[in-house]
Amino acid sequence: MANIHPSAYVDKSAEIDSSVEIGPMAYVGPRCILHKGVRIGAQAMVETDTEIGEDTYIYPNAYVGCDPQDVSYGGEQSRLVIGKRNKIREFTNISRGTAKEELLTEIGDDNLIMAGVHVAHDCRLGSNIIIANYTALTGHVRVADSAFISGFVGVHQFVRIGTQSMIASHSRVGKDVPPYCTIHDNAIAGLTIIGLRRRNVSSDARAELKKAMRLIIDLGVPFDTLPAKLAELEQFEEIKHFVDFVQSSKRGMIRRFRNEDEE
C-alpha cells in the first residue's frame, strides 16, 4: 500500500502504485498516474491529468500539471507526461498542454529541473537535461537531449534548443540554439568542447563541428544556403544532426558571434 501522509489529498480517480510516497499536505488530483517509486514532497501539487514515471521525485512545494498560462485555454482536458528518474525541485511550475498542439506537455527521463523553473504549456523536453534555477521556458519550446540551461534564462516561445548545447545564465534566447554550441545572451560563444570530449566525440568530428560553427557565425553566408554548405563537410553523425537542425529551423537560428571582450 502506498505511503500517503494522513494530511495529503489523493483524488479517487488517481492511479497510485503501492510503492509511491506522498508527503504532508501534498495534493494529487483527478486522473493522475503515479508509477513505481514516485515521491511527492510536502505541499507539492500534482493538479490533474498528469502521469509521472518511475522513481521521479517531485520536491516540496513544486506545482505540476497545472492549467496552461495561456489566454486561449478554455478548460480543455489536456495532459502532462513526465518520464522516469526526474528530479523536479522546489517551487517549479510545469503546465499541461493546449489545443494549439496536441494537448500535451512532455518531459523525458533523467532530467534535473532546479528550483523555481517554469516549463510552460506544450513544451517538449528530452532526457539528461539540466535546467538551473529561475529559468523560464515559454510555450511550445523544444529542448533536445543533454542540453544545459543555466539560471535566470528566458526562452521565447517556439524556440528549439539543440542537443548538448549550453546556455549561460541571464541569457535571453529568441531564436533556435544550434546543437553543440555555447550561447551567451542570444550569441554563440563557441562549442561545448569539454562536453563533446566527455561524450567521446572524436577529434575529427570536433574539427568538423568547428568548421560548421564558423559557417553558422559567418553572416555573409545566407541562411538558406547553410544546409548545402554544411553538407560539404565530412558527414559524421554530429554534422548530420547539425544539418537536420538547420534545415528544420522555422524561427531562425542564433548566428551572431560573441567576442570574449563583450560584457
Mean pLDDT of 25-43: 98
Q: How many CA atoms lie within 13 A of 106 on its CB side?
A: 10
Percent of the chain residues past pLDDT 70, beyond the cut: 98
The confidence score (pLDDT) of residue 258 equals 83
The answer to pTM > 0.75 is yes
Q: Which of 74, 65, 72 is nearest to 95 (CA)?
A: 65
Q: Identify the band that residue 260 occupies on the pLDDT scale cut at 50, 70 and 90.
A: low
Q: Which of 109-118, 227-236, 247-256 has the highest mean pLDDT?
A: 109-118
Q: What angle do CA 195, 86, 51 make, to 5 degrees?
A: 140
**pLDDT mean across residues, the chain:** 95
Report the C-alpha dihedral over residues 122, 244, 208, 196, rounded to 10 degrees: 30
pLDDT 10s digits, 77-108: 999 999 999 999 999 999 999 999 999 999 99
Q: Is 139 a catalytic residue?
A: yes
Confidence check: pLDDT of 59 > 70: yes
Q: Which of 196, 187, 184 is nearest to 216 (CA)?
A: 187
Which one of 35, 118, 121, 140 is the catalytic residue?
121
Q: Which entry of 49, 122, 176, 185 is annotated as an active-site residue?
A: 122
Q: Is the pLDDT of residue 263 over 70?
A: no
Look up 122 and say whether it is catalytic: yes
Residue 1's pLDDT is: 81
Domains parsed from the chain with CATH numbers: 3-140 (2.160.10.10), 193-247 (1.20.1180)
Catalytic residue among 29, 116, 139, 162: 139
